[in-house]
């Protein structure tokens, strides 16, 4: 991957987006921090009533919300000790400094000095917070103690939690800095890449400003407090989330993952001292319109001097992908900026002459090594004494919410993907726990030992995921840079989380709203960021029994306008069943709707949040996602949801099933989010320690099929197998076809290619295997709209005999060639004497496919099952043996039964039955034991056999029998009622609504197939 040297913006404040002209100008000015959005939104909405009270908004210059002094009573606690610096290492903890983490775009400092390294570290307070509920939901009880610990810490170093200061809630970082002198009037800033959360910076003991941030940069203009060329002492007093808990025990900051102890705290990602000319380019936003064929440049110019400054703004647009396009010229602009102010200058719209080859497109269908088309804008602001510059990389693309879907560059686009939650990876102990996005090798640039974040993106795309929601912990700018380059669509989500009921949306209102604006401003030039997620599960429905205070639709509305104040070009949504806000560019995504008792769902919430709006599932499957069955649902539920027109489908969450899609991760490295009611830690199903070749793994291979942009699925087959089984198998249920009959199967054919409507489907049916003799074949030439799907029927005649058939389907387009191939649809051609309308047709087919029965070959060559024949005890033994499939059993040399010689056809099976205690036989008058192999077996004895085969599970027989012909005194009463309780036996229903079991009736072969099938599903 080719990359430019990292360049950062100077982070000076800017004016609002022009589209929000009715809102008052905002921007705190030098040294006044970045609390701007709350006041901005307040002016638009007026006072907003939350929880029945009127909220007073802070002004841009107001001090950030702090926890009240009396909220936490000081109590005894163990004083913090300076932690060992990465216990497994001999040297100091790593700084994890990497220039590229701050991204390729931004204002370019004239001089930049890294502040990474060892800082003095004074712990002010330590706080321990504990849930008042067994699961991490609702308010906490926190105890805080003062500390006198003075030590050192690495900056950024992943924050203080990663370095072992796990109980610290407030601490002061300090060091000396020498301010560069650029020889002309200058603005000097300290730029912290990310701070959680409140930072008060002082220079030589004088307070400069207080900023409140969450996972985004915190920038301080120290120009008025320092002298160029001189040395000063800088102190930064930082409060983490546990110092920002209100009187009710709720966080007042968007801290992303209330359930996790490992969320980064303090200063992380980067720390730099930056100098720019007094007249400088503070920020740049490039917007593009495919519909209008234009590009527009918004530049915010800041004057940090004490007099009006004039200059000329010039720019050049070029290729960041070494392409040869005819770019529009950027006309020069004469500018004048009053002292101490920020002025927005708009250049354009400029005509974009190039066609779709110059557009940013995602890597769909997947092509290894794909790189999206990117462009770059270089701006220069030449003042009277010095020149300021800015570099922005962008993609020419346009995303719109249109009706119940979306369009990218005018083409309908359906989003299919994941919601990776960084807090899960924060649990990895890599030089300490926390801040995985900026410290763990799997999220960084490739290295000798780890393929890094580009491999993660490639894994997603190879899996046919086209989009991901970066869930709760915002991505690093580097992660978004790579997504820009590789063509992965991103939904950028804030750290506002209602799920655990631990964020107070009233006392923390200003902090929540300002965080939204900070994140949008930071990420809005990224081509891959196509949508904004303003909050995760803010509604009270996910917070019982401790709903977080303050959630109302007006809260959602405030977040919406905070996004719109900074960017009007992207759709906005909220994840987690919120109500609609009524805006054409807004929707919400369902979570966990329509789940059955096993937690499976393929409900897409059609009509929610409002008819005609995009709908789909933002989360489903959790907490079954780290089970084999749940992992297969990633595939099966997605295919089913695609047939229902879902605009977005995100099974939750891939990391729980396949943790090592981030390279380097083993199963025990990651501690997953706690499941309600669970004790102990849970881990991903697969990691590098137990999955050497992921692409041959059953569930992963099936997910690739289900997410393919040109998926062709047999509708009835996927419906029959959507629940899979405990082992996560595909297929899990046989689909049986009658022998010698004409069969019609219905295909669902999907077209999510973005650029083609001509789809060819080749299909063929083979005996036994995908490369076996061909039974039938055909070609479908289809015209399918982009983003749409159609149903098409195929017809073929099954062979007369009993055998397996394999359906092979492939799809292609003229532009991409063959995109999809699947040979995983396998049919069982049934027995000649078991018609498709037989009551136990599927169960008998299952018994054949499972190898429990083979039937009889008749003189005419057909295969029969003889469903109504009664079963002898020896055949019953064989059936149970094949069902159990015991490994390594060796039959004894001497038979346990005198009437079963070792030469008996089913000797091994009968001997196994006796050894397992499933049968004891009869003790005869002479003391010997017999099995009576040729006797028919009655239904009551079958109940006993199955109960013992299940290891005689604990079962309290009911006082009242479910069957009128079985009483508590009946032999095998407990076993029969267990069979009924588990659903293995249902009995016969009489005209009066009562049921009979017929315990002494010899069981027929069809009923036995049904019993064994249901038993196998337990």
SS (H, E, C) 164-188: CCCCEEEEEEEEEEECCCCCCCEEE
Percent of the chain with pLDDT over 90: 82
Strands (E) located in 620-719: 648-649, 712-714
> Residue 417 half-sphere exposure, CB side, CA atoms within 13 Å?
24
Q: Which residues pair with 789 in a beta bridge?
A: 750
CA distance 185 to 183: 7
Average pLDDT of span 561-569:
98
pLDDT given at position 834: 87
Task: Classify 915 as helix, strand or coil.
Answer: helix
* Per-residue confidence (pLDDT) for residue 257, from 0 to 100: 95
Domain count within the chain? 4
- Judge if 694 and 720 occupy the same domain: no
Higher pLDDT, 169 or 547: 169
Better-predicted residue by pLDDT, 588 or 543: 588
Residues in the chain: 1018
Last residue of a domain, one of 276, 294, 323: 276
97 is a domain residue: no
Residue 92 is given by DSSP the state: P
User: Do the domain assignments include residue 789?
Assistant: yes
- pLDDT bin (cut points 50, 70, 90) of residue 765 is very high
Pick the last residue of a domain from 657, 673, 707: 707
Angle made by CA atoms 327, 333, 338, in degrees to the nearest 5: 145
Residue among 861, 865, 731, 736 at smallest CA distance from 798 = 736
Cβ-defined contacts of 577-583 (< 8 Å, 24+)? 577/537, 577/539, 577/541, 577/542, 577/608, 578/535, 578/538, 578/539, 578/553, 578/609, 579/539, 579/553, 579/609, 580/609, 580/610, 580/613, 581/553, 581/556, 581/557, 582/610
Is 642 a residue whose pLDDT tops 60? yes
In this predicted structure, what is the pLDDT of residue 406?
A: 98
Does residue 664 share a domain with residue 766? Answer: no
CATH number for position 592? 3.20.20
Average pLDDT over residues 79-106: 73
N-term to C-term CA, the chain: 51
Look at residue 540 in the predicted model and tell me its pLDDT. 63
State whether 935 and 817 are in the same domain: no
3-state DSSP of 546-595: CCCCCCCHHHHHHHHHHHHHHCCCCCEEEECCCCCCCCCCEEEEEECCCC
> What integer pLDDT is reported at residue 52 of this predicted model?
29
Which residue in 397, 401, 361, 461 sits closest to 615, CA to CA?
401
In a domain, 191, yes or no: yes
Of 165, 256, 251, 259, the C-alpha closest to 215 is 256
Same-domain status, 819 and 956: no
Q: How many CB atoms lie within 10 A of CB 221?
A: 25
**Mean pLDDT, all residues of the chain:** 90
Residue 984 included in any domain: yes
User: Rounded to whole angstroms, how far apart are CA atoms 96 and 440?
Assistant: 9
Tell me whether residue 324 is exposed, middle or buried, using C-beta atoms within 10 angstroms of its C-beta: 0 to 12, 13 to 18, 19 or more. Answer: exposed
Query: How far is Cα 310 from Cα 338, in angstroms, rounded to an integer?
Result: 9
Residue 211 and residue 33: Cα distance in Å, rounded? 5
Residue 782 lies in a domain: yes
Q: Is the torsion defined by CA of 70, 76, 77, 79 positive or negative?
A: positive
Give the pLDDT score at 196: 98
Residues 656 and 724 in one domain: no
Separation between Cα atoms, residue 906 and residue 884, nearest integer Å: 15
**Full domain range(s) for residue 897:** 849-1016
Question: Do 963 and 988 fall within a single domain?
Answer: yes
How confident is the model over 312-335, as pLDDT tens digits? 999 999 999 999 999 999 999 999
Q: Are residues 598 and 488 in the same domain?
A: yes
Does 412 fall in a domain?
no
Query: What is the Cα–Cα distance from 711 to 181, expressed in whole angstroms?
Result: 61
Predicted pLDDT at 544: 55
Task: Say yes or no: 943 and 958 in one domain.
Answer: yes
Angle at 393 between CA 389 and CA 394, to 5 degrees: 130
How far is the C-alpha of 120 from the C-alpha of 405, rounded, in Å? Answer: 53
Residue 314 lies in a domain: no
In the prediction, which pLDDT does 599 show?
96
Answer yes or no: is pLDDT of 653 > 90: yes
Q: Are 240 and 221 in contact (CB under 8 A)?
A: no
Residue 427 corresponds to which tokens in the numbers above?
């649990």
pLDDT in tens, 926-961: 999 999 999 999 999 999 999 999 999 999 999 999
pLDDT classification of 91: cutoffs 50, 70, 90: low
**Predicted pLDDT at 82:** 55
For residue range 504-527, list pLDDT tens digits in order.
999 999 999 999 999 999 999 999
On whether both 935 and 864 belong to a single domain, the answer is yes
**Stretch 222-250: mean pLDDT:** 97
Q: How confident is the model at residue 858 (pLDDT cuts 50, 70, 90)?
A: confident
SS3 category, 68: coil
Domain contains 373: no
Same domain membership, residue 228 and residue 119: yes
CATH of the domain at 185: 2.60.120.260
CB 704 within 8 A of CB 797: no
Report, as an integer, the average pLDDT of 46-55: 29
- Please determine, for residue 706, whether its predicted confidence score (pLDDT) is greater than 80: yes
Q: What is the pLDDT of residue 542?
A: 57
């Amino acid at each position: 991957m080719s990359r430019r040297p990292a360049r950062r913006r100077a982070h000076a404040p800017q004016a609002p987006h022009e589209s929000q002209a009715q809102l008052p100008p905002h921007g705190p000015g030098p040294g006044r921090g970045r609390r701007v959005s709350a006041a901005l939104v307040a002016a638009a909405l007026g006072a907003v009533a939350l929880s029945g009270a009127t909220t007073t908004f802070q002004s841009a210059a107001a001090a950030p919300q702090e926890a009240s002094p009396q909220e936490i009573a000081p109590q005894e606690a163990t004083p913090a000790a300076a932690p060992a610096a990465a216990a497994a290492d001999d040297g100091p903890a790593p700084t994890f400094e990497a220039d590229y983490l701050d991204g390729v775009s931004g204002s370019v400092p004239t001089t930049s000095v890294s502040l990474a390294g060892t800082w003095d570290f004074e712990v002010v307070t330590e706080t321990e917070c504990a849930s008042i509920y067994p699961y991490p939901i609702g308010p906490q009880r926190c105890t805080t103690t003062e500390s006198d610990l003075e030590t050192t810490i690495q900056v950024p170093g992943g924050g203080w939690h990663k370095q072992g200061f796990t109980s610290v809630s407030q601490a002061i970082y300090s060091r000396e800095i020498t301010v560069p002198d650029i020889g002309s009037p200058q603005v000097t800033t300290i730029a912290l890449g990310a701070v959680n959360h409140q930072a008060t910076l002082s220079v030589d003991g004088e307070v400069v400003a207080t900023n409140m941030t969450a996972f985004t940069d915190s920038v301080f203009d120290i120009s008025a407090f320092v002298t160029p060329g001189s040395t000063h002492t800088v102190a930064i007093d930082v409060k983490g989330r546990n110092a920002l808990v209100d009187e009710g025990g709720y966080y007042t900051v968007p801290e992303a993952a209330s359930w996790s102890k490992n969320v980064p705290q303090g200063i992380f990602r980067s720390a730099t001292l930056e100098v720019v000319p007094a007249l400088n380019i503070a920020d740049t936003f490039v917007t593009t319109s495919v519909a209008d064929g234009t590009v527009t440049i918004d530049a915010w110019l800041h004057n940090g001097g004490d007099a009006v400054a004039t200059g000329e703004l010039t720019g050049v647009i070029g290729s960041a992908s070494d392409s040869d396009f005819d770019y529009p010229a950027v006309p020069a602009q004469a500018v004048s900026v009053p002292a101490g102010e920020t002025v927005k200058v708009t250049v354009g719209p400029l005509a974009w002459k190039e066609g779709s080859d110059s557009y940013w497109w995602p890597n769909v269908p997947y092509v290894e090594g794909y790189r999206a088309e990117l462009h770059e804008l270089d701006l220069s602001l030449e003042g009277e004494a010095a020149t300021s510059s800015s570099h922005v990389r962008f993609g020419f693309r346009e995303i719109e919410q249109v009706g119940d879907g979306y369009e990218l560059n005018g083409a309908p686009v359906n989003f299919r993907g994941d919601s990776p939650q960084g807090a899960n990876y924060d649990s990895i102990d890599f030089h300490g726990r926390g801040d995985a996005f900026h410290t763990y090798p799997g999220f960084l640039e490739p290295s000798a030992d780890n393929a890094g974040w580009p491999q993660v993106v490639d894994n997603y795309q190879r899996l046919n995921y086209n989009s991901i929601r970066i869930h709760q912990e915002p991505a690093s700018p580097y992660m978004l840079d790579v997504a820009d380059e590789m063509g992965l669509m991103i939904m950028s989500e804030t750290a506002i989380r209602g799920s655990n009921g631990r964020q107070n949306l009233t006392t923390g209102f200003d902090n929540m709203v300002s965080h939204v604006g900070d994140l949008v401003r930071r990420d809005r030039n990224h081509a891959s960021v196509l949508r904004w997620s303003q909050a995760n599960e803010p509604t009270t429905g996910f917070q019982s029994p401790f709903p977080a205070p303050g959630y109302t639709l007006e809260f959602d509305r405030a977040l919406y306008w905070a996004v719109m104040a900074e960017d009007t070009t992207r759709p906005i949504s909220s994840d987690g069943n919120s109500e609609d806000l009524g805006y054409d560019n807004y929707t919400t995504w369902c979570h966990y709707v329509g789940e059955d008792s096993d937690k499976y769902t393929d409900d897409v919430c059609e009509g929610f949040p409002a008819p005609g709006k995009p709908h789909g599932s933002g989360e489903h499957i959790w907490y079954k996602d780290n089970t084999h069955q749940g992992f297969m649902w990633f595939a099966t539920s997605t295919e089913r949801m695609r047939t229902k027109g879902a605009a977005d489908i995100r099974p939750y969450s891939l990391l729980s099933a396949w943790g090592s899609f981030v390279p380097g991760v083993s199963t025990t490295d990651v501690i997953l989010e706690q499941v309600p009611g669970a004790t102990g830690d849970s881990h991903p199903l697969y990691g590098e320690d137990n999955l050497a070749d992921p692409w041959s793994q059953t569930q992963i291979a099936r997910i690739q099929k289900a997410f393919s942009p040109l998926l062709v699925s047999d509708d009835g087959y996927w419906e029959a197998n959507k629940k899979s089984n405990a082992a996560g198998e595909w297929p899990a249920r046989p689909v049986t076809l009658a022998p010698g009959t004409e069969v019609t199967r219905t295909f669902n054919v999907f077209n999510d290619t973005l650029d083609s409507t001509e789809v060819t489907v080749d299909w063929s049916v083979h005996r036994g295997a995908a490369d076996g003799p061909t039974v039938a074949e055909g070609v479908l030439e289809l015209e399918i709209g982009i983003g749409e799907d159609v149903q098409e029927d195929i017809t073929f005649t099954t062979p007369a005999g009993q055998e397996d058939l394999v359906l092979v389907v492939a799809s292609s387009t003229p532009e991409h060639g063959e995109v999809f191939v699947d040979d995983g649809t396998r049919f069982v051609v049934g027995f000649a004497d078991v018609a498709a309308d037989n009551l136990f047709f599927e169960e008998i087919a299952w018994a054949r496919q499972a190898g429990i029965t083979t039937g009889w070959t008749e003189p005419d060559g057909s295969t029969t099952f003889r469903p109504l024949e009664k079963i002898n005890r020896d055949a019953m033994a064989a059936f149970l043996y094949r069902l159990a499939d015991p490994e390594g059993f060796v039959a004894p040399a001497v038979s346990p039964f005198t009437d079963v010689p070792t030469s008996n056809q089913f000797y091994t099976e009968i001997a196994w039955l006796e050894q397992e205690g499933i049968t004891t036989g009869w003790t005869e008058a002479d003391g010997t034991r017999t099995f009576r192999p040729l006797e028919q077996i009655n239904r009551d004895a079958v109940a006993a056999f199955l109960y013992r085969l299940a290891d005689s599970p604990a079962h309290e027989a009911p006082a009242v029998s479910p069957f009128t012909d079985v009483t508590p005194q009946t032999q095998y009463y407990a076993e029969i009622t267990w069979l009924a309780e588990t659903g293995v036996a249902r009995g016969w229903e009489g005209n009066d609504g009562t049921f009979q079991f017929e315990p002494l009736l010899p069981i027929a072969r069809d009923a036995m197939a049904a019993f064994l099938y249901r038993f196998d599903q337990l």
